[in-house]
Amino acid sequence: MKKTTAENPPQNDPTLEIRRRKLQVGWWALLVFLLFGFLLEALHGFKSPLYLDVQNETRRLMWTLAHAHGGLIAIINILFGLAVPFMPGFAEPSRQWASRCLTGALIAMPAGFFLGGLFIHGGDPGLGIALVPVGGALLVIAVFLTARASQR
């Protein structure tokens, strides 16, 4: 009988696929948002008017929020992937919903901030900002389902 290790997980583990997927999504998203942060630093370093002019203050704030929230939610996805094996009471429907909500939040919230900063209207963010509360709601649902499962 093979010994179960991190390199050789049990093949009948129902959480294996979701763990792998969350770790993959989280790490790739973290890379994307780190690179986006480097781009923002380059815009700042080269004194880009697109980013630093006073009339673009809203854009700078929105893009900074996109970077920060994207990185944070990417890390939450990684933590979810690492935590699932320690929550045996995390039933399949709730686990799938939490995973999907985390992925949705990872897309919707940073995209809303980014799009809100891409098209600004008189100092106000553009219509893309409407995605932010959707992403926030998805994040709250995912965290609630995960927190509830951790109690079992």
Task: State pLDDT tens for residues 54-85.
Answer: 999 999 999 999 999 999 999 999 999 999 99
Tokens 């686990």, residue located: 95
The pLDDT of residue 141 is 98
Kindly tell me if the per-residue pLDDT of 119 is higher than 70.
yes
For residues 88 and 112, which has the higher predicted lDDT (pLDDT)? Answer: 112
Q: Do the domain assignments include residue 103?
A: yes
Q: What is the largest CA-CA distance in the chain?
A: 68
Q: Do the domain assignments include residue 10?
A: no
Q: Do the domain assignments include residue 136?
A: yes
Using DSSP's 3-state secondary structure scheme, residue 79 falls into: helix
Q: Do the domain assignments include residue 4?
A: no
Tokens of 7: 């390199």
Kindly tell me if the per-residue pLDDT of 26 is higher than 60.
yes
Distance of CA 74 to the CA centre of its chain: 4
Q: How many domains does the chain have?
A: 1
| Range of the structural domain that residue 106 is part of | 16-150
Tokens of 94: 């709730």
Using DSSP's 3-state secondary structure scheme, residue 121 falls into: strand
Tell me the C-alpha to C-alpha distance, in Å, between residue 146 and each of 69, 86, 89. 19, 11, 10
Angstrom distance (rounded) from CA 17 to CA 28:
17
Identify the CA nearest to 102 among candidates 85, 119, 81.
81
Q: Do the domain assignments include residue 49?
A: yes
pTM above 0.85, yes or no: yes
Q: Do the domain assignments include residue 62?
A: yes
Q: DSSP letter string over 99-123?
A: HHHHHHHHHHHHHHHHHHHHS-BTT
Angstrom distance (rounded) from CA 125 to CA 49:
17
Q: Do the domain assignments include residue 137?
A: yes
Q: Do the domain assignments include residue 53?
A: yes
Return the minimum-mean-pLDDT range out of 87-91, 101-105, 109-113. 87-91
The pLDDT of residue 3 is 56
